């Protein structure tokens, strides 16, 4: 395996990585280290994990973090209702009289009543390729949970007092994402590889649009990428990410557009620009200018196409 084969495998499954991403993923896989991805919203951090799962054939296990997430929601819990029911059932059938308290207790805290949550499922032995564990938006979880992750991410093992230690025989591929709403703790960062995900360049973005929205015309794809590039330069509150570009291209495809014009841009702008203030800024810039520039960029790149096409990506 090399970074290039990683890039090839990812692009065959609909994700066009740049060299930085493919190298980072390659290292995460060969060195068995978690990969921490940071970047603006909508640059494809979560998508990378999904595609990676599709490419390796491993199961995708996703843990969405939020404030207050704790062990019983992320790692394991006991099925209390069934435990109680079981206790009553053994009493009712008279089974409990034939057994010692220890036996009964061991039964109640056996794997049968254990509810396995995302992190525990990720380190369980599996047939086939190891799963991809996506720990999404780690910055939303609190410090307590981050501290708990340290044990799991460095040793890939989980201790359940009543049962014992679970250890992964083959560690999962772990992707963590963060939107940088706060600093992830240094101790956690030190265990991870780090990659800052950028917006893609023009050629890559065109290739991504063509790959994800094959129904639209190549010319329109270039125009959309050109318009998005202009929008990113307008210092909007929320500059559009690749996710928005794809949404926009899809919307244009549904409307049967073959070319950008003022009317269709005005009607579909809500797919890329999501703040009232940003809308105003685009209007100030001039919708006609935006369309003109996009068409010009599209034409310029048709005449001098970039390096990147889907085939050699």
Binding interface with other proteins (CB under 8 A): 2-3, 19-20, 23-24, 26-27, 30-31, 33, 35-36, 38, 66-68, 70, 72, 77-78, 80, 83-84, 87-88, 91, 105, 108, 139-140, 142-144, 179-182, 186, 189-190, 192-196, 237, 277
Shortest Cβ 64–other proteins spacing (Å): 14
Place of tokens 């202009």: 230
Please tell me whether residue 62 adopts helix, strand or coil conformation: strand
d(CA 226, CA 306): 13
CB of 243 to other proteins, least distance (A): 16
For other proteins, which is the closer residue by CB, 107 or 217?
A: 107
CB of 67 to other proteins, least distance (A): 5
Residue 83 beta carbon to other proteins: minimum distance, rounded to whole angstroms: 6
Q: Min. distance of Cβ 223 from other proteins in angstroms?
A: 27
Give dist(CA 111, CA 77) in Å, integer.
11
Residue 59 is given by DSSP the state: P
Compare residues 170 and 281 and give the one whose CB is closer to other proteins: 281
Between residues 139 and 261, which has the closer beta carbon with respect to other proteins? 139
C-alpha 116/C-alpha 59 separation (Å) is 15
Contact 252, 298 (CB under 8 A): no
Taking the C-alpha atoms of residue 22 and residue 28, their distance in angstroms, rounded to an integer, is 10
Q: Which is nearer to other proteins, 2 or 267 (CB)?
A: 2
Of 26 and 202, CB closest to other proteins: 26
The whole-angstrom separation of Cα 215 and Cα 256 is 10
Residue with Cβ nearer other proteins (2 or 157): 2
Least distance in Å: CB of 129 to other proteins? 19
| Nearest residue to 227 via CA among 306, 297, 300 | 297
Q: Which is nearer to other proteins, 186 or 303 (CB)?
A: 186
Contacts of residue 172, Cβ cutoff 8 Å, sequence gap at least 6: 58, 61, 122, 123, 130, 131, 132, 133, 156
What CA–CA distance (Å, rounded) separates 89 from 104? 12
CB of 29 to other proteins, least distance (A): 10
């Amino acid at each position: 395996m090399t970074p290039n084969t990683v890039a090839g495998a990812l692009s065959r499954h609909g994700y066009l990585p740049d060299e930085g991403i493919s190298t980072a993923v390659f290292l995460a896989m060969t060195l068995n280290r978690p990969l921490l991805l940071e970047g603006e919203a909508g640059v494809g951090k979560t998508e990378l994990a999904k595609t990676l799962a599709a490419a390796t054939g491993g199961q995708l296990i996703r843990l969405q973090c939020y404030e207050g997430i704790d062990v019983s929601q992320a790692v394991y819990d006991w099925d209390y209702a069934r435990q109680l029911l079981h206790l009553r059932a053994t009493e009712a059938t008279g089974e409990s009289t034939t057994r010692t308290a220890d036996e009964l207790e061991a039964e109640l805290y056996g794997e049968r009543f254990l509810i396995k949550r995302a992190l525990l499922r990720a380190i369980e032995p599996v047939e086939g390729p190891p799963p991809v564990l996506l720990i999404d938006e780690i910055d939303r979880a609190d410090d307590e949970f981050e501290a708990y992750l340290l044990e799991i991410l460095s040793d890939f093992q989980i201790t359940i007092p009543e049962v014992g230690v679970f250890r992964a025989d083959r560690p999962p591929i772990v992707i963590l994402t963060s939107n940088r709403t706060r600093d992830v703790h240094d101790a956690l960062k030190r265990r991870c590889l780090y990659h800052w995900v950028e917006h893609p360049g023009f050629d890559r973005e065109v290739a991504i649009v063509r790959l994800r929205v094959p129904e639209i015309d190549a010319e329109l794809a270039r125009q959309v990428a050109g318009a998005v590039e202009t929008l990113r330069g307008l210092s909007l509150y929320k500059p559009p990410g690749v996710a928005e570009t794809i949404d926009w291209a899809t919307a244009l495809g549904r409307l049967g557009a073959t070319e950008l014009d003022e009317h269709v841009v005005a009607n579909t702008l809500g797919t890329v620009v999501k703040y009232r203030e940003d809308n105003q800024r685009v209007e100030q810039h001039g919708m006609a200018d935006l369309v003109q520039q996009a068409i010009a960029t599209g034409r310029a790149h048709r005449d001098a196409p970039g390096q990147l096409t889907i085939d050699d990506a």
